């Protein structure tokens, strides 16, 4: 028996051709939506990735400049595996991403450049601050 808080999921629309997946770090999309992205690209949809940081703080014991190269290469390789040809990085420092005017401006500019019909982001209340900051303002709850 379902909880009264449970909402029935609606079918994913399929009347789009171009999507932009936005995430804070390299590998976020792989943990969050790579299976769906692979299915969409196999069906002829175009998906591009926009990463707010290069993930330079993500490998313990490695200097950030070394980790940057590895994380970028891994991200581009994993994107190719699921059919994503375009990966863009915004160059915000890993571990210092904050929601604010500069990030909103850069996200809006990227959305205008890519002209997606669908925007894919990570969702959920348990996300840490960098993941919440990387979601475009349209995904933010409106204060009541």
User: What residue ranges do the domains of the chain occupy?
Assistant: 18-139
CATH superfamily of 18-139: LmbE-like (3.40.50.10320)
pLDDT one-digit tens code per residue, 54-97:
988 877 888 888 989 999 999 999 999 999 999 999 989 888 88
Long-range contacts from 68-76, C-beta under 8 angstroms, 24+ separation: 71/25, 71/26, 71/27, 72/26, 74/26, 74/27, 75/26, 75/27, 75/49, 75/51
pLDDT in tens, 103-127: 989 999 999 999 999 998 876 555 6
pTM for this model (two decimals): 0.82
């Amino acid at each position: 028996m379902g909880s009264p808080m449970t909402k029935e999921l609606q079918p994913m629309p399929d009347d789009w051709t171009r999507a932009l997946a936005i995430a804070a770090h390299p590998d976020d999309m792989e943990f969050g939506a790579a299976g769906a992205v692979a299915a969409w690209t196999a069906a002829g949809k175009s998906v591009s990735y926009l990463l707010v940081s290069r993930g330079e703080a993500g490998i313990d014991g490695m200097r950030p400049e070394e980790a940057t190269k590895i994380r970028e290469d891994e991200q581009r390789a994993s994107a190719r595996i699921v059919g994503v040809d375009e990966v863009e990085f915004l160059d915000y420092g890993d571990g210092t991403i904050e929601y604010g005017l500069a990030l909103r401006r850069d996200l809006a500019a990227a959305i205008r450049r890519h002209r997606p019909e669908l925007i894919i982001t990570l969702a959920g209340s348990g996300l840490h601050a960098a993941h919440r900051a990387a979601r475009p303002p349209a995904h933010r709850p409106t204060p009541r």
